[in-house]
């Protein structure tokens, strides 16, 4: 493909993307394909000679579109939003013009400084405490990662390294492995599975703490577990608090958890992957009260802020906790004389991002953030959040009008957890009928043994009309359940 081919096909692909995005609104939420369908559509090895562009474009429909979950469908109400926008797509396209690693300032001055500015912009939109923002007088700052999973794993590994160093100050003869066996961390039973995975990766026991009826962690149980571990000679190092948990959109009490963590000098990380975007609206900022007590905070801008994924932002109050956890001296590794190496950063307040996470060759993610925030503006993003929440409230009101159903958890954001009153089997059978129908898509969850269905405003294409349609389908399928099941 030469330059002129790229120019021509690039225009064609933009047109294809636009047509695809708008045609998907009319498609069903889930594909109707069998496992292994693709083996009949593509050869089992790559072509020796290049294929024609027109043939590749023609294959996108049967190979990709016919087998993809349609998150653009207004009737998709399954997972939390995973969105992009025209501005962020354009920013993502431009990023590939600059294949420069954003590892340190010497490698990519524009990349480092734009990332610093964009994480500060986002932090100010969320009204994060100044300690989390870049400033010459402070050691805090933000970094753009791939996911909340990477964020929590990064922070737990950093907490582990910090604790090992602290323990060795008074016990220098202890080996790292001996210390690690005594370390313990904590999270809610409603935490995302990635938090559990972070514990497995770091070889640190992750205690699962019970939740209350609203999905928030039981702080008394957390403190009791911490005190018990201390009495048994263990070292609590990390607590992951959750804002907008995956299963039921529950919220932990940050003030209570923060007080416990600060008392025992424990790293407090806040996972607000979904809910974090809502904090750009002043009326939902109260959900973040207590963030000033945290060590680190993360949310996914590729969800509600519609910045093309991956775009997950992590802030820390003390960036040295990260840089000291992942330091690798490339000059030393390559046997260079240390005195001859160029400085990686022109000033102490400029981050060496390759020391902040697991990645070395970091891409230029901040461009799409810059495009999105400049071309959308804060007011438009706030309107997206408010509109989605208003539609969730509409759905909640419809549920409450039908005495066969009940709301399981108070509706705070754009997630409604509901069920048929009575046994688990009722709700499970209802969901099976809805899925077999295929006109709308939802997924189940459970809280403290209570099985329910999650209705999420996931697609940016969903309107109040679609909410009414979804409820009509749900009622229609509830009517089809055996009468004795409804009454039982």
Both 366 and 392 in one domain: the answer is: no
Whether residues 226 and 135 share a domain: the answer is yes
Residue 107 has pLDDT above 90, yes or no: no
| Percentage of residues of the chain with pLDDT beyond 70 | 95
Q: pLDDT averaged over the chain? A: 93
Considering the domain architecture, whether residues 367 and 410 belong to the same structural domain is answered as no
Query: Whole-prediction pTM value?
Result: 0.94
Q: Would you put residue 203 in left (φ > 0), alpha (ψ -120 to 50) or beta?
A: left
Whether 252 and 389 map to the same domain: the answer is no
Q: Which residues contact 88 (CB under 8 A, 6 or more apart)?
A: 306, 307, 308, 368, 369, 371, 372
Q: What is the pLDDT of residue 14?
A: 95
Q: What is the pLDDT of residues 211-232, one digit of tens each?
A: 999 999 999 999 999 999 999 9
Tell me the residue range of the domain where 15 lies: 1-30+69-82+377-488
Q: Band of the pLDDT at 106, cuts 50, 70, 90?
A: confident
Same domain, 335 and 430: no
| 246-300 confidence digits (pLDDT tens) | 999 999 999 999 999 999 999 999 999 999 999 999 999 999 999 999 999 999 9
For the chain, helix (H) and strand (E) counts, in that order, are 16, 11
pLDDT number for residue 341: 44
For residues 289 and 330, membership in a common domain is answered with yes
The CATH number of whichever domain residue 468 belongs to comes to 3.90.1150.10
- Output the CA torsion sign for 460, 463, 464, 468: negative
Quick one: which of 462, 474, 473, 463 has its CA closest to 419? 474
Phi-psi region of 215 (alpha: psi -120 to 50; beta: other; left: phi over 0): left
In total, how many domains does the chain have?
Answer: 2
Sheet of 296-300, strands arranged across:
141-145, 312-316, 296-300, 267-271, 235-242, 183-188, 205-209
Residues 334 and 465 in one domain: no
Percent of the chain with pLDDT over 90: 85
Instruction: Provide the pLDDT for residue 361.
Output: 81
> Pick from 376, 400, 433: which residue ends a domain?
376
Query: Is 394's pLDDT higher than 50?
Result: yes
Helix (H) or strand (E) holding 464: helix 464-480
pLDDT tens, position by position, 177-186 = 999 999 999 9
pLDDT band at 39 (very low <50, low <70, confident <90, very high): very high
Question: Is residue 5 over pLDDT 60?
Answer: yes
Helix, strand, coil shares of the chain, percent, nearest 5, are: 50, 15, 40
Distance CA 208, CA 103 (A): 35
DSSP string, 137-166: T---EEEEES-HHHHHHHHHHHHHHHHHHH
Looking at residue 333, its pLDDT comes to 46
Q: What is the mean pLDDT of residues 123-150?
A: 96
| Token pair in block for residue 361 | 């060759």
176 in a structural domain: yes
Average pLDDT over residues 194-200: 97
Residue 330 has pLDDT above 70, yes or no: no
When pLDDT is cut at 50, 70 and 90, the band that residue 357 belongs to is confident
Short-list 148, 165, 158, CA closest to 322:
158
Query: Do 136 and 25 lie in a common domain?
Result: no
pLDDT at 338 over 80: no
Task: Please report which helix (H) or strand (E) contains residue 172, including its range.
Answer: none
Q: Cα dist. 18→85, 135, 152 in Å?
A: 11, 41, 35
- What CATH code is carried by the domain that includes residue 192? 3.40.640.10
Strand partners for 145: 312
Q: What is the pLDDT of residues 447-487, one digit of tens each?
A: 999 999 999 999 999 999 999 999 999 999 999 998 655 55
């Amino acid at each position: 493909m030469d330059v002129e081919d790229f120019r021509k096909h690039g225009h064609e692909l933009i047109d294809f993307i636009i047509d695809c995005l708008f045609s998907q609104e009319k498609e069903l939420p889930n594909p109707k394909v069998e496992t292994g369908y693709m083996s009949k559509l593509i050869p089992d090895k790559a072509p020796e000679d290049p294929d024609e562009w027109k043939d590749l474009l023609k294959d996108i429909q049967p190979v990709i579109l016919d087998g993809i979950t349609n998150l653009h469908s207004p009737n998709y109400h399954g997972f939390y939003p995973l969105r992009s926008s025209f501005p962020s797509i354009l920013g993502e396209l431009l990023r590939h013009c600059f294949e420069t690693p954003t590892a340190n300032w010497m490698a990519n001055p524009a990349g480092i400084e734009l990332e610093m500015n964009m994480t500060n912009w986002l932090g100010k939109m969320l009204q994060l405490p100044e300690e989390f923002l870049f400033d010459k007088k402070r050691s805090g700052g933000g970094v753009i990662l791939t996911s909340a999973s990477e964020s929590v794993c990064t922070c737990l590994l950093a907490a582990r390294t910090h604790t090992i160093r602290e323990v060795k100050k008074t016990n220098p003869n202890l080996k790292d492995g001996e210390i690690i066996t005594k370390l313990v961390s904590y999270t809610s039973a409603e935490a995302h599975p990635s938090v559990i995975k972070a514990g497995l990766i770091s070889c640190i026991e992750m205690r699962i703490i019970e939740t209350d009826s609203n999905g928030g962690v039981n702080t008394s149980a957390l403190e009791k577990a911490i005190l018990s571990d201390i009495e048994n000679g263990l070292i609590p190092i990390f607590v992951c608090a959750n804002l907008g948990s995956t299963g039921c959109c529950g919220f932990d009490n940050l003030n209570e958890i923060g007080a416990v963590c600060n008392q025992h000098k424990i790293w407090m990380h806040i996972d607000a992957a979904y809910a974090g975007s809502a904090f750009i609206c002043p009326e939902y900022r109260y959900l973040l009260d207590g963030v000033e007590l945290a060590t680190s905070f993360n949310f996914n801008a590729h969800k509600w802020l519609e910045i093309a994924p991956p775009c997950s932002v992590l802030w820390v109050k003390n960036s040295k906790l990260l840089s000291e956890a992942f330091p690798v001296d490339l000059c030393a590794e390559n046997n260079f004389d240390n005195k001859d190496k160029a400085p990686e950063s022109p000033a102490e307040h400029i981050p060496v991002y390759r020391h902040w996470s697991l990645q070395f060759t970091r891409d230029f993610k901040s461009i799409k953030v810059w495009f999105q925030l400049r071309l959308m503006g804060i007011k438009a993003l706030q309107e997206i959040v408010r509109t989605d929440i208003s539609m969730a409230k509409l759905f909640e009101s419809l549920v409450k009008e039908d005495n066969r159903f009940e709301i399981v958890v108070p509706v705070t954001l754009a997630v409604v957890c509901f069920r048929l009153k009575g046994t688990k089997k009722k709700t499970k059978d209802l969901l099976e009928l809805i899925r077999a129908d295929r006109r709308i898509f939802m997924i189940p969850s459970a809280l403290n043994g209570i099985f329910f269905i999650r209705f999420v405003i996931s697609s940016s294409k969903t309107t109040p009309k679609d909410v009414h349609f979804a409820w009509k389908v749900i009622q229609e399928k509830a009517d089809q359940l055996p009468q004795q099941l409804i009454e039982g």
